[in-house]
Amino acid sequence: MSDYIVLIRRKLSPEAAVGIMRDLREALKIHEAPLVFFHGDGAETTSDRASGWEEADPGVDWCVCRTSVERRAASDLLPSSFRVATLATFYQAVLSARRVDSLGLGGTLSCGSGSGDRPGEEPKHLLLEVGFAPTGLQQRRETLEMALAAAALELDASVLFHGDGLAHLAGDSARGWAQITDFGLLGMYAESPGRPSGSEIAAQTVDAARAADLRARAATILIL
Amino acid sequence: MALAGKEIALGPDGHLLDPDDWSEPIAEEMARLDGLELCDLRWWLIRFVRAHYGQYGMPPLMRVAVKAMRGDGGLEDASSRTLYRLFPDGPIREACRYGGLPRPESCI
């Protein structure tokens, strides 16, 4: 079982990929079978021959989101040491991890994890942070799918939009987020002094202090 | 292929290529060819999935469909097993197919 998870949701340069492989080799000294999960734009990185993934350490579980890779027609280009997996695989691993790093479109974060999913332990609260403006429908959809997968698994999770990420809640293509509030699937918050501009989505608006409180209460934060 | 007296184009996964081609008789005909009768509960799920798609741009999560079936669907003890009994090959995906919607592409 992996106790260290890395989520990669942005396209990496070959230099960054080499750095990650080096860091993972180091992590193997103290972590059991780290799992790296490529999702969304991150999946594009896996078919980049210049990144040298063929040299990736086989002690690491290299996973690529099945849907992300199918959308990019890159299934045949995966390095031999990589496997396709679903978001259910990713979230199950997150629940039992001690450390979760995210390299998202909205930034990078490494967080130690609190209590876990083992018997007798309190369920983890998971906070998904969205702080980037989507550049297209695919980025919008894949960010929403991260949240819907958490909802499908009935995880104790919330989504926090802030800064440029508030753009996800504006416009007609934002309507997919409404199902989260309409059916009470997850907590949904917008760090904003008022209703996010152009938004018809019923996210709960919170101030900076409340947003900081949400972060402090989360056992795990994923930067999407 | 000809369905309910109309020439209909289907994709390799059996979903209509043009959602505007859809009608209830076409759904009935697709189900008949699969050896399936669209009973009231199956129709309830198809209509719910179509309405959800129209409102949110994507089909519902299974848990949302189960919750709705317990409420509007009038089946208080509905569960995911109930949905799988209706469409064993994947309730939401099959409801999309008979409902004239694209194949759900997410791995959720």
Q: How far is A117 from chain B (nearest CA, A)?
A: 20
Nearest to B101 by CA among B14, B32, B7: B14
Q: Is B75 exposed, middle or buried (0-12, 13-18, 19+ CB in 10 A)?
A: middle
Residues of B in contact with A71 (CB under 8 A): 105
Are residues B75 and B65 in contact, defined by beta-carbon separation less than 8 angstroms? no
In angstroms, the CA A143 to CA A130 distance is 8
In chain A, whose CA is at the least distance from the CA of B55? A175
Q: Is B98 helix (H, G, I), strand (E, B) or coil?
A: helix
Between CA A25 and CA A58 the distance in angstroms is 10
pLDDT beneath 70: ranges in chain B: none
Express each pLDDT in B66-78 by its tens digit. Answer: 999 999 888 999 9
The span from the CA of B95 to the CA of B59, in Å, is 9
pLDDT in tens, A95-154: 989 999 999 999 999 988 754 445 556 667 999 999 999 999 999 999 999 999 999 999
Residue A195 pLDDT greater than 70, yes or no: no
What are the chain B neighbours of A148 within 8 Å (beta carbons)?
Answer: 61, 106, 108
Whether chain B has a CB inside 8 Å of the CB on A86: the answer is: yes
A185 interaction partners in chain B (CB closer than 8 Å): 61, 63-64
**Helices marked H in A3-136 — which ranges?**
14-27, 42-45, 66-71, 87-95
The ipTM estimated for the assembled molecules is 0.90
**Among all residues of chain B, which has the CA nearest to that of A146?**
B108
